[in-house]
Amino acid sequence: MGEKHFWSKALERSEQARSCGALVPLSTSTIEFFGPNAEQFELRQLNAALPKHHRREGPKPNPFLPWDEQLEIERIHHNHVLILNKYPVQCGHMLLITQGWASQIHWLQPDDWRALVRVDRDSTGLWFFNSGPRAGASQPHRHLQLLPRHPGERICPRLSWFTDRLQKPAASPNDSQISDPLVKSCVIAQRPQSSDPDEEAYLLHDLYRSLASRLGLGDQSTQQPPAVPYNLLLTQTWMALIKRSQDQVKGFSVNALGFAGYLLATQRSDLPWLQSHGGDQLLRQVVPDLSGSTDAVS
């Protein structure tokens, strides 16, 4: 789908930005994962200290106001710009940011979806959004993120987990018959399609609001900001929202990519715990325990 103009331009800009030091790719190494459901996770070890924007301590200037023009790929409509992630693990990792200030913790707006559709029709892949610090967002300025994918390439390691949920009858997260916190904290639906980009953006925004209501985040017409932090994942076939309670556990910082199956270990991470308990159990620690129990796996 699309001609990959944005992706090609991102790769070209990456070379230029890296040569002048504006782009700082993170060096990582793959770690063999032995935990339960290991095939649904890709575990990598960061080979250096965390970049400053990922650290909790100290003030954080807004890197998007203004954004670094050496990282700019292209302006999208009037209110958005597509830029490179300054600290990528995957080459071509793009951020769709608002040109003016918009808060990461507030609701995505129709204009955000219009800009996303504009990019997605040319260069698609795995879109994700972290709705604030407790959902793993490192910056307060609104930014959606895209990891581009080739046709036929696996979208993410936990794809089967989401497609299994998609094929089962829709259930409310409050359904008493659901006991797994991961299932209770996630809603998913088939992505709507349209040949008209404006209509597609409208349908995506409408689906986003519907899923948010099902998940208990409220409605943007009456609830400001959403009642609970969340992650959003979007592919060519489905959209998922995941309710969050905290961003870090056992030394791992978990954002939307964690639920997609991508885990990044740092020098703070408890790798023996992860290898013993598995990635699913790690994710259960960062979503609400809707069963009423407050016990955590130690």
Predicted local confidence at residue 168, as pLDDT = 80
CATH of the domain at 122: 3.30.428.70
Whole-angstrom distance, CA of residue 58 vs CA of residue 219: 34
Asked, for residue 70, whether it belongs to a domain, the answer is: yes
| pTM given for the model | 0.92
Predicted local confidence at residue 173, as pLDDT = 58
Those residues of the chain that have pLDDT short of 50 are 292-296, 298
Predicted local confidence at residue 35, as pLDDT = 82
H or E stretch at 270 = none
- Tens of pLDDT, residue by residue over 95-154, are 999 999 999 999 999 999 999 999 999 999 999 999 999 999 999 999 999 999 999 999
Asked, for residue 74, whether it belongs to a domain, the answer is: yes
Predicted local confidence at residue 295, as pLDDT = 42
Predicted local confidence at residue 57, as pLDDT = 54
Asked, for residue 149, whether it belongs to a domain, the answer is: yes
Domain that holds residue 169: 5-45+65-284
pLDDT above 90 as % of the chain: 84
Whole-angstrom distance, CA of residue 55 vs CA of residue 51: 7
Predicted local confidence at residue 3, as pLDDT = 82
Residue 211 CA to its chain's centroid (Å): 16
Token pair listed for 138: 């490192």
Asked, for residue 9, whether it belongs to a domain, the answer is: yes
Predicted local confidence at residue 292, as pLDDT = 47
Asked, for residue 99, whether it belongs to a domain, the answer is: yes
Token pair listed for 79: 């209110």
Predicted local confidence at residue 48, as pLDDT = 79
Token pair listed for 257: 């990519």
Asked, for residue 243, whether it belongs to a domain, the answer is: yes
Cβ–Cβ < 8 Å for 235, 190: no
Q: Is 295 left (phi over 0), alpha (psi -120 to 50) or beta?
A: beta
Predicted local confidence at residue 49, as pLDDT = 73
Count of domains for the chain: 1
- Tens of pLDDT, residue by residue over 23-36, are 999 999 999 999 88
Asked, for residue 211, whether it belongs to a domain, the answer is: yes
Asked, for residue 293, whether it belongs to a domain, the answer is: no
Predicted local confidence at residue 294, as pLDDT = 38
